[in-house]
Homo-oligomer: A and B are copies of this chain.
Amino acid sequence: MAIADTPFRGPVPPLPHGFRMGAVHAGIKRNATREDVTLVASDLPATAAGVYTTNLVFAAPVALDRSRTPGRGFRGVVINSGNANACTGARGLEDARTMAAMAAKELGADGDAVLVLSTGIIGEFLPMETVAKGIRSAAAALGCDEKSAFTAARGMMTTDTRPKIAGASVATTAGGCTLFGMAKGAAMIGPKLATMLGVIVTDAAIEPDDAQKVLAAAAEETFNCVSVDGHMSTNDTVLLLANGAAGGPPLSGGDLEAFGKALHGVCETLARDMADDGEGATHVMRIEVSGAASRDAARQVARTIADSPLVKTAVHGADPNWGRIVSAAGYAGVPLDPARIHLKLNGVPLFEGGAPLPFDAEAVSASIRDHRETLIELSIGDGPGRIRFYSSDLTADYVHLNADYHT
């Protein structure tokens, strides 16, 4: 299998019809060069679907959005970075509601027609005057050009080193539609900042339940198959807004299926790019597990390998220390017969039938060192379950980023 050297960094794809975006620095983040309030506006009422963190300690915006989606009539999303509005109790929920209402007012919409995303420090109340000022400025800055879209994606960032953007267009019987997606996330929770967020907008017309179904399916195989440090955020959210501006009736049948595939591609690009931009990462690990009893079992094995600090440091050190990978699989909590494990590292077979294979350690080490992506292929039997999982390596820079910022 080919090993990718360069993560996708294409030009900014066009915004779908009827969407505008804007972002400004309001003052939630100290650094005045960083946008911290982003507004996504739909000129037409849009269907919205969402998938959310399963963390039982979930943030106020998650509680709010979860109560509103799936549904129709949405006019936008307001996003702040620098403060997660998490662990903030009843006051936090009231702040999230107020934030949505303020954005809705700027868009001339009802107070509950806007969704909210927050990312940043946990356990501090939102500076609502600053947020209000930011929303007014972001509304004044709304545009549908490339720069507006890029700035919006940048406005979501916390410790990310670059915006994550992906787009697609789909041919449908009604003539076609466009998708634009943006995401942030470089650790499940970064140094006092937080979270994986994604917003995907499309000018397709989709019924709320269908939107929820295709989004959940795509997220399950993409965003739910990426881990930087295994720490699940209180705020993780991915939203899909579909405003129908492309014309035609709501997608169904083959059109919906084609849309689902394009959505999957957009989500996979964004998810992989998050692992690639993991805090301090020097490698993105692609872990392909096959032969498991089910997809969930395959994912469990892949996630255990992905989250092992010993596997992550071995990849960082270009050390083909495959015992760490096999032993991680052994404690994943999934039934497993070591004699049936096959392991390849960057295409080179290392372990088979319960015993090691002779291999050129120097060559494998060089192959890890010389490529941005490290490919781990593990087959654990002849079951139908398989998964592709992305993670990043563990470096001293990750430790410095997360330890050396003091309160």
Contact = CB atoms under 8 A, between A and B. Distances in A.
Contacts of A230: 307-309
A404 B369 CA distance: 12
Contacts of A361: 407
B123 A322 contact: yes
Contacts of A335: 56
Interface in A389-407: 394-396, 398-400, 402-407
Contacts of A330: 55-58, 232, 234
Contacts of A55: 327, 330-331
Given A327-B232, A406-B317, A355 B399 contact: no
Nearest to A350: B123
Interface string A84-104: 101111111000000000000
Given A356-B124, A399-B394, A329 B192 contact: no
Contacts of A189: 310, 323-324, 327
Copies of this chain held together in the complex: 2
A187 B327 CA distance: 14
- Chain A's interface size range is 35 or more
A235 to B, nearest CB: 9
A107 interface: no
A302 interface: no
A54 B327 CA distance: 11
A49 B230 CA distance: 36
B57 A310 contact: no
Contacts of A314: 402-403
A57 B89 CA distance: 45
Nearest to A322: B123
Contacts of A351: 87, 123
B317 A404 contact: yes
A167 interface: no
B231 A86 contact: no
B317 A57 contact: no
Interface in A244-294: none
A384 interface: no
Interface in A322-378: 322-324, 326-331, 335-339, 341, 351, 353-356, 361, 365
B56 A317 contact: no
A229 interface: yes
A15 interface: no
A328 to B, nearest CB: 7
A338 B56 contact: yes
Contacts of A338: 56-57, 87
Nearest to A125: B356
A105 to B, nearest CB: 28
Contact of A313 (B188, B327, B403): B403
B89 A354 contact: yes
Given A89-B354, A90-B355, A234-B323, 12 more contacts: A57-B338, A57-B341, A87-B338, A88-B356, A122-B324, A123-B351, A123-B356, A189-B324, A232-B327, A232-B330, A394-B399, A399-B399
Interface of A: 54-58, 84, 86-92, 121-124, 187-189, 192, 229-234, 307-310, 313-314, 316-324, 326-331, 335-339, 341, 351, 353-356, 361, 365, 394-396, 398-400, 402-407
